[in-house]
Amino acid sequence: MSVLRCPGCGQEVSPLSPINTCPRCGEPLFLEVDSDEIVREGARSLVPRSLKKVSLGEGETPLIERGEFLLKLEFLNPTGSFKDRGASLTISRALLAGWGAVVEDSSGNAGIAVAAYAARAGIRARIYAPADAPQGKLRLIRAFGAEVVTAKTRDEAHRAALEDKSGVYVGHVVEPLFIEGMKDVALELLRSGERFDAIVVPVASGSLFLGLYKGFEELARLGLADGVPTMVPVEACGYVKLSGYLKTVELACEEGGKSLLADALRLTAVPRLRQIASMAARVSPYAIVVGDESIGRALRELYSMGLPVEPASAAVYAAAKYVARDIGGRVVVPLTGSGLKYVPVPSDILDGYLFGTPEPREQR
């Protein structure tokens, strides 16, 4: 049977307990899956079927080749972001445990995903979000019937959600099942048969980074992969968390400037930071930090390739171009969020980059 396990002190907890950190030492828990169950089911997923109760058709996203890049189109998940993979398992846990209401904090995409899967499962959801989140994203959360509560900043939304006792806290920034949902990206990359030399991974709360790492580790344990490949974390200027742990490469960061474009990367209070940092130090030579000039230029390029992504995905593409030059070889680029949530709404921040006026300045 699969259990929650503390990576710090080894404490074991039932997946039906309404907690996501260790009751003994406070460390965020991971799910320890039953490998026999995975193998019995033909290793078609790294998550046992017994834990997957709520689905909207997420996963198995397209992988397309563009020159030296393999683009994984995660924005084609049901609600328009990779967060659907995590929300599917998080809400499955809620359903198995019989929780009637859940609480989440999010800059937008994870809130939309949790709201949609909670709606599907008949579970009430309350989502804390920063007041300056894209209003279109907040409208989507409400369209799924969830309640939106706004806070002054992304970090304050996190703290407020932790204190809310109206439902079980399932915040994706710490929830182990949310991370678990990301593992199959590793499996899908493996099954594609494509060779690659590195993956660039956006890091806000780190769920994709942690999930990919865990996925490749488990694939190696099953004898299906060699180990964890090079995985380069990507952050946005002004929201850097990994600089104390890893060499940092900056792309077009203004002195003291904060990214306005990459709203999905604006978290700084990251409960799993040490876990992410220790994994990243093992599998990447550096973290890449991307600024708005670079993001805007990459965004324009992605639209000229016919790909309607969100700005945070463009940050990752900009980082991938650096990695392709610096490390060389083929680079996997997860395009994590849909631009369909943004472009329909007029925006002072985005429009100049999208429609070409004013012209983006030259990269420094």
One residue of 23, 305, 326, 363 binding a second copy per CB under 8 A = 305
Q: How far apart are CA 114 and CA 112, in angstroms?
A: 6
Q: Which residue has the tokens 């997420």?
A: 58
Rounded distance, CA 8 to CA 250, Å? Answer: 32
Query: Which amino acid does the sequence have at 195?
Result: R
Per CB under 8 A, 95 contacts a second copy? no
131 lies in the site for a second copy, by CB under 8 A: no
Tell me the C-alpha to C-alpha distance, in Å, between residue 78 and each of 82, 194, 229, 278: 9, 25, 28, 32
The C-alpha atoms of residue 147 and residue 92 are separated, in whole angstroms, by 20
Residue list 139-198, contact with a second copy (CB under 8 A):
139-140, 142-145
Is the link from the previous residue into 358 a cis peptide, with omega within 30 of 0?
Answer: yes
Distance CA 37, CA 279 (A): 26
40 contact partners, CB below 8 Å, separation of at least 6:
none
Among 24, 26, 345, 363, binds a second copy (CB under 8 A): 345
Task: Please report how close the Cβ of residue 40 comes to a second copy at its closest, in angstroms.
Answer: 22
**47-85 per-residue burial string, b: 16 or more CB within 10 A, e: under 16:** bbeebeebebebbebebeeeebbbbbbbbbbbbbbbbbb
64 binds a second copy (CB under 8 A): yes
Q: Which stretch binds a second copy (CB under 8 A): 58-66, 99-107, 161-169, 250-258?
A: 58-66
Query: Which of 11, 35, 45, 55 is the binder for a second copy (CB under 8 A)?
Result: 55
- Binding range to a second copy, per CB under 8 A, among 4-12, 31-39, 148-156, 333-341: 333-341
Total site size for a second copy, rule CB under 8 A: 44
| Region from 184-192, 229-237, 270-278, 303-311 binding a second copy, contact rule CB under 8 A | 303-311
| C-alpha–C-alpha distance, residues 324 and 229, integer Å | 15
The residue (of 21 and 77) whose beta carbon lies closer to a second copy is 77
Q: Which is nearer to a second copy, 70 or 242 (CB)?
A: 70
Listed ranges 200-208, 213-221, 288-296, 302-310: which one lies at the site for a second copy (CB under 8 A): 302-310
Quick one: tokens of 305?
A: 């390739």
Residue 117 interacts with a second copy (CB under 8 A): yes or no: yes
> Minimum Å distance from CB 154 to a second copy?
19
Alpha-carbon distance values, 110 to 115, 173, 337 (Å): 8, 9, 10
* Residue 128, beta-bridge partner list: 105, 149
44 binds a second copy (CB under 8 A): no
Judge residue 100's burial from the number of C-beta atoms within 10 Å of its C-beta, 0-12 exposed, 13-18 middle, 19 or more buried: exposed
Q: Which is nearer to a second copy, 131 or 143 (CB)?
A: 143
If binding is defined by CB under 8 A, does position 297 make contact with a second copy?
Answer: no
* 15-23, 149-157, 200-208, 338-346 -> range binding a second copy (CB under 8 A): 338-346
CB closer to a second copy out of 116 and 210: 116
Distances (CA, A) of 73 to 232, 289, 309: 18, 22, 9
The helix (H) or strand (E) run that includes residue 130 is strand 124-130
Cβ proximity to a second copy: between 90 and 338 the closer is 338
State yes or no: residue 285 binds a second copy (CB under 8 A): no
342 binds a second copy (CB under 8 A): yes
From the list 50, 96, 192, 303, which residue makes contact with a second copy (rule: CB under 8 A)? Answer: 303
Q: What's 190's DSSP letter?
A: H
Residues that bind a second copy (CB under 8 A): 55-57, 60, 62-64, 73, 76-80, 116-117, 119-120, 134-137, 139-140, 142-145, 303-308, 338-346, 354-355
